[in-house]
Structure 1
Amino acid sequence: MSEVGTLKSIAVLGGAGKEGGGLALRWAHAGHKVIIGSRDAQRAQDAANEINAKIGGTNASGAANGDAAAQADIVVLAVPFSAQRATVESVADALAGKILIDVTVPLVPPKVSRVQLPDGGSAVEAIQKLLGEGVKVVSAFQNISAHHLTHLDETIDCDVLVCADDAAAADEVVALAKEIGLGAWNAGVLANSVVSEALTSVLIALNRRYKVPDSGIRITGITPQ
């Protein structure tokens, strides 16, 4: 595993989508090698080409999900809740010994502005139980608008809550978040991820009520480190 603060190879499964694509764009712009993962390798490469055009570089590439996960130091899961478990199961062998950053939000259309957590509580914690101790699952980035991420010249006025049972893994993800212009905080164990997962529906409700595209959160009372 790479040291905190060093450049890493990051696979973003679901990187052809809005949220995953925004994170991939930011990390590629920061200098990391980013592998876009998709069920369709050509769709992944097309998304990578768009990122490279925006950053004027070659840091992004595309591959099928399994190949993307195998190539990376860190894997990011940015797929819809309905595809979360199946995607993880399809790449599980490539995740051993790595950090998996799960961005999953358990939204259940059409009532996406209503909190609907799965029966077991945290959707991300369920993935840690599925994969076992050989993979360090970290919950993060659920509450950051893709609208913010895709504008590289924009200062993002939002914080990220990072939860994991492995504190060192959480701190590494905090560092990755700060690299792309986000405030980020180690918010404790993975079970605490229920707050971030539920908060997304609250933010969607706020967006609708106040007619804005990108409400977010800030943590106050702590001096930024």
Structure 2
Amino acid sequence: MTDQTGQTRYRVAVIGGTGPQGKGLGYRFAKGGHDVVLGSRAAEKAEAVAAEVRERLDGTAAAGSVTGLANADAVEACDVVLLAVPYDGHDELVASLPLAGKTVISCVNPLAFDKRGAHGRVVNGGEGSAAESAQELAPDATVVGAFHNVSAVLLWGDDEFLDEDVLVVGDVVEAKQVAMDLAASVTGRVGIDGGKLRLARQLEPFTAVLISINRKYKTHAGLRITGLDAPH
């Protein structure tokens, strides 16, 4: 639906909504006027984190609602679903969710860590990604990849917007537009269409590069795309 300003207002289930990334994105979406349902394995835990987000939003004009439900109930209540879960256990969880007919946004990063730091895990012999796996597991949903590279610390921080861009990949233009619209709640501008869903194979492990930069320079690095006319 649209609000009084003509902005599309989404109702978003955040699966993994009690983790740092999910909670931070849920907070930003709600701050931007969207309604958010945080999902968790336990509804009580989801509602406790939702209360924390609502407290943070207290006094924010035109903020959306924030509630907490068990994962499957959160999905049932929304048309848009954000997957913000660890890659370990990802496939089993996605397969268990009622995602048919939903627009699904994956920000899952298959990463591993060793003595040399973070690096991308190989998915499907290099011919796949978490986002593509989600699409295979939920063929009646429409999956896009987005929000892979935003910092959970900054999402929960005090800056009005993050000084970076959100890249969105997918095979269906209308579904990508949903993620691009939601990106405006995070960066103050719509996201950037980065191409087809298979390019999640590059976006997901690139987060390891940012982790390395953060470790070296003691910061929370993001991505900015130059050469585009603003607004995107």
Task: Output the TM-score relative to the length of structure 2.
Answer: 0.89
- Work out whether 1:95 is the aligned partner of 2:102: no
Q: Which residue of the partner structure matches residue 206 of structure 1?
A: 213
- Work out whether 1:115 is the aligned partner of 2:117: no
| 2:26/2:36 contact within 8 Å kept | yes
- Work out whether 1:221 is the aligned partner of 2:223: no
Please, which of 44, 53, 56 is the counterpart of residue 54 of structure 1? 56
AA in 2 matched with 1:176? L
| 2:161/2:185 contact within 8 Å kept | no
Task: Output the TM-score relative to the length of structure 1.
Answer: 0.91
Q: Which residue of the partner structure matches residue 192 of structure 1?
A: 199
AA in 1 matched with 2:94? V
Please, which of 64, 71, 74 is the counterpart of residue 70 of structure 2? 64
5+ residue gaps in structure 1? none
5+ residue gaps in structure 2? none
Please, which of 129, 141, 144 is the counterpart of residue 136 of structure 2? 129
AA in 2 matched with 1:49? A
Q: Alpha-carbon deviation of 1:58?
A: 7.3
Paired with 1:58 and 1:5, the residues of 2 have a C-alpha distance of 13
Spell out, residue by residue over 1:26-64, the C-alpha distance to the aligned partner (whole angstroms, 9 max, x if none). Answer: 111122211110001111000000011111177111110
* Partner SS for 1:141: coil
Distance 1:10 1:206, change over 3 A: same
| 1:99/1:137 contact within 8 Å kept | yes
Q: Alpha-carbon deviation of 1:108?
A: 2.0
AA in 1 matched with 2:102? K
Spell out, residue by residue over 1:56-77, the C-alpha distance to the aligned partner (whole angstroms, 9 max, x if none). Answer: 1771111100000000110111
Spell out, residue by residue over 1:173-197, the C-alpha distance to the aligned partner (whole angstroms, 9 max, x if none). Answer: 1011013325520111100111210
- Work out whether 1:32 is the aligned partner of 2:37: no
Paired with 2:38 and 2:122, the residues of 1 have a C-alpha distance of 28
Q: Which residue of the partner structure matches residue 181 of structure 1?
A: 187
Q: Alpha-carbon deviation of 1:128?
A: 0.9
Paired with 2:89 and 2:146, the residues of 1 have a C-alpha distance of 17
Q: Alpha-carbon deviation of 1:160?
A: 1.1
Q: Which residue of the partner structure matches residue 84 of structure 1?
A: 90
Q: Which residue of the partner structure matches residue 166 of structure 2?
A: 160
Q: Which residue of the partner structure matches residue 20 of structure 1?
A: 22
AA in 2 matched with 1:97? G
Identity %: 38
For the aligned residues, what is the CA RMSD?
Answer: 1.8
AA in 2 matched with 1:203? L
* Partner SS for 2:166: strand
* Partner SS for 2:187: coil
AA in 1 matched with 2:107? V
* Residues paired across the two proteins, number: 220
